[in-house]
Amino acid sequence: MATRRHHRKSRGGCVACKKKHIKCDERRPQCLNCFKRSISCTYIDAPSPSYPSSTYPSPIEDSQEPQPSSSSKRARVYSAEDLELLHHYCAKANASVSQSIGLSAERGLFELPKLAFESDYVLHAIIGLAALHRAHLEGETGQISDCDFTALAADHVNAALPSYRSALQNITESNCASLLMFASLLSLYVFASSNNGLNPFQKNTQSAKHGSGLSLVSWLGLIVGGMTAIRPWYWHILHNTEYGPCLQTQLWTIQKKPESPLQIHRDGILAGLERLWSEDRRLLSPGSDINSQHPWQRKLSPEQRTKLSTILEALRKAYLWITFVSPGSTDPADPGLDPNEPSAHENQQNKLSNYQSALPMFITMDPELTTYKGSRVQASPIELSAILQFLHSLDGEFEQLLHDKHPYALVILAYYSVLLKQKDVWWIRGVGDDMFAWISEELADEHNIELFGEDLTNWINWPRSVFVHEFDSRVDAGNIEVDLSL
């Protein structure tokens, strides 16, 4: 009779093996069972002296001043699926992501992974965006994967937020670049998630199912809060570094003015919005308690009025960077242009070429960002940067107005959604429509009508005309590109 082989008893197995009541070989950082199943491998107790706890140096060895993210960075073991998504990001998604936040494809491919290995929240953001990019590609090709990439993306972003918030409490010269990159990547994630079942603009969507469950204002709060905290570090630390282009300071420092009749007309529409808060159009009902129901029933302070005007000015500047004409449009600034003639398309190609040649920082252009698709020109990097930089110009005071669903703040956001509607890149498709629909619903609230004595949705008639494709060619047909094929 064979003698039963004795084995070393141990209580040091990983959490996953203990849960399944199977023997764990206690390999670190990942046991064989977890490796085969491509899942995270976590040990609760201290590692056995027989095994090294990690191939990484300890946080204390890295710096005499431990960074907030160090301990959390070592806690998670990334699965084979995570590594596959990291490869997908480098091979497929890097160019569009990097150029969207202001880096060239080559610079982004080098700098972002480097920061990711220094700060776990950046790595989570990259993998999360890669997962959403995979979900986007599957949606376009009709492929079905065993993996729920949308849920995986939410998992990574949720895992990143605690260490990101912690790092914001202790911004240093060594981590401000990581924080800037994460805030930028988080902006892309918020937009991209709108197309993949995690819609922050709608109620009762899959967002709760996947664990994000954050509203639009909550997402903006994360982005705005981070940018507000990082902003003091912009000029004297980041401006002259390899991350300087991400700040896109030329978007705001260059005194760009409207030139064509269409630009001038549209800028006049935007400038006219300032009358909303300068005239204070609210009409309180007799006997109503102005401090009840909605915080914004109270009079705006001079500081709040100034803030709204500052944000509106930033939006006007963003509009000026998104102006070139799509093929097939009838732009009064281009008299006699016949879209059916071969020379018309060549003329538009020349315009696009001249536009790109004025952007020396973008040496390598991603074809997805610059080629024609259907009846419109896809977004250039400088345009996407203008869209994101407006978002990053917001601050906590404006965020509070959005949190209170103040109509004036919502109106500004409605005009911002028009910019999102025009650009054709994977992470932004459909976002403008969802944002505008959400704002329209909020402005149509009966209490707003009672308080202001009018239908507040009249304030957004111009954006609405863009979204329903019923607009006056004198206003939009040239410089605002609307895809009529939708």
- Find the domain containing 29 and state its range: 12-53
Q: Which two tokens stand for residue 357?
A: 């040649």
The verdict on residue 67 lying in a domain is no
Which amino acid is present at 109?
A: L
Same domain, 402 and 455: yes
274 and 188 within one domain: no
- H or E stretch including 398? helix 396-403
Residue 233 shares a structural domain with residue 339: no
d(CA 168, CA 230) in angstroms, rounded, equals: 8
Counted domains in the chain? 3
Q: Which of 187-191, 373-377, 391-395, 449-453 has the lowest mean pLDDT?
A: 373-377
- Select from 216, 242, 268 the last residue of a domain: 242
Its pTM stands at 0.66
Q: Which helix (H) or strand (E) holds 376?
A: strand 376-377
Considering the domain architecture, whether residues 103 and 219 belong to the same structural domain is answered as yes
**286 and 230, same structural domain?**
no
Report the alpha-carbon distance of residue 475 to residue 269 in Å, rounded.
9
**CA torsion sign, 344 to 350 to 355 to 361?**
positive
Asked whether the beta carbons of 296 and 305 are under 8 A apart, the reply is no
Secondary structure class of 243 (helix, strand, coil): coil
With respect to residue 58, please indicate whether it lies within any of the assigned structural domains.
no
Per-residue pLDDT tens over the stretch 50-97: 323 333 222 223 333 334 444 344 456 788 889 999 999 999 999 989
CB–CB of 230/171 below 8 Å? yes
Task: Flag whether 371 is in a domain.
Answer: yes
Q: What share of the chain is helix, strand, coil (3-state, %, to 5)?
A: 55, 0, 40
Q: Which of 178, 197, 164, 319 is nearest to 252 (CA)?
A: 319
Q: Are residues 353 and 454 in the same domain?
A: yes
Is residue 165 situated within a structural domain? yes
Q: How far is CA 378 from the centre of its chain?
A: 18
In this structure, is residue 99 part of a structural domain? yes
Residue 345 domain-assigned (yes or no): yes
Which amino acid is it at 478?
A: G
Residues 236 and 258 in one domain: no
Q: How confident is the model at residue 228 (pLDDT cuts 50, 70, 90)?
A: confident
- Is there a single domain that holds both residue 141 and residue 172? yes
Q: What is the CATH number of the domain that holds 45?
A: 4.10.240.10
Whether residues 326 and 439 fall in one domain: yes
Q: Give the range with max mean pLDDT: 124-133, 184-193, 475-484.
A: 124-133
Residue 478 lies in a domain: no
Whether 270 and 235 share a structural domain? no
> Within this chain, do residues 189 and 321 fall inside the same structural domain, yes or no?
no
Q: Does residue 486 lie within any of the structural domains?
A: no
Do residues 313 and 378 both lie within one domain? yes
What is the reported pLDDT for 130?
Answer: 95
Q: How large is the angle between the packed helices 381-392 and 407-422, nearest 10 degrees?
A: 170
